[in-house]
Amino acid sequence: MKKLAWVLPALLLAGCEFEIPGQKAKDAAAMGYACRISKKSPEQCMRENPNFSQTAVLDGWREADKDVKDKKVDTNFSAPPPVVIKPAGGEKKEGEAAAEGEKLPEGGPPPEGEKKPEAEAKPAEAKAPEAAKGH
C-alpha cells in the first residue's frame, strides 16, 4: 500500500515542467552566443528573441565576441558540400528502365535505332481526335 501512495503523486507530477533556477538566463546567454557566431547584431538578436532577458542575451553575445576576437571560435563557415543522391541499386546499366516503377516491354528493350510500334507509342485517347479531323 505504501508503494501505491508514491505512484499517484508521481503520475500527477509527470506532466509538470519544473523551473530550474537560472535556466532561463542560461538559455538567453546561449541564444546571444549563437547570434554572435552567426554574425548577427545584438539588436537583431534581441528583436528575434523577445521572450529572453535582453541583458542575458547581450552577455552571451559579448562572451562570443570575446571568443571570436581571441580566435577561439571561427565564424567563417564554408558552404556545405553538395549532396549527391544515388539510386539504391547503384548505377543503371544501358537498357534498364530509367525511372523506378517503369516496366520494360516483354522480351526486353528494343534494339537501338528501332522505334516502338505506333499502337504502343500513342494512347487510345490521342487517336480519337485525329479521327474527328479526317472530315
Tens-place pLDDT, residues 65-84: 999 899 888 888 777 778 88
Listed by start position, the domains of the chain span: 23-77
CB count within 10 Å of CB 52 equals 20
Handedness of CA 105, 109, 111, 114 (dihedral sign): positive
3-state DSSP assignment of residue 61: helix
| pLDDT class of 87 with cuts at 50, 70, 90 | confident
Residue with cell 564554408: 78
> Rounded to whole angstroms, how far apart are CA atoms 66 and 57?
14
Average pLDDT, the chain: 74
Does this model's pTM top 0.85? My answer is: no
Q: Are 70 and 54 in contact (CB under 8 A)?
A: no
Angle of CA points 14, 18, 23, to nearest 5°: 145
